[in-house]
Amino acid sequence: MAIWFPGKLRATANSLCVAGSSIGAIIAPPLVAWLAIQYSWQTAFIVLGAVGLVIAVLWKLVYQDPPAHIMQEAVQDETAPSDQPVPVAAFS
C-alpha cells in the first residue's frame, strides 16, 4: 500500500482491500456450491480457475508503476530513522 497511496489515503485504501476480500469470501462459497450442484465439481473448478486466469491477465495489462512522487514518499518512509528509543511514558 505504501508505494501506491500517499500517507493520508493509505488507511482508506487498506480498508477497501480488506472489505473486498471479505465480500469475496461471502460471494464465493454460494457461487461454487451452485456451480457444483447445477453442473459438476469439475465445472466449478474449471470456471473459477478460468476467472483467476482472466484476472491475472487483466492485472498484467492494466498494472502500472506508481507515480514517482508517491514512490519517493514510500522510500522516505522506509528509510526514516527507527532506531530511536521509545520512552515508556508514550505507552501509558
Give residue-wise pLDDT tens across range 70-84.
777 767 765 555 566
| pTM: predicted TM-score of the whole model, two decimal places | 0.61
Q: Beta-strand (E) ranges in 21-76?
A: none
CB-based contact 3:67 (threshold 8 Å):
no
Q: Which residue type, as a one-letter code, is found at position 3?
A: I
pLDDT band of 65, cuts 50, 70, 90: confident
Name which residue leads in pLDDT, 72 or 32.
32
Residue 21 scores a pLDDT above 70:
yes
Task: For the chain, give every domain's residue range.
Answer: 28-72
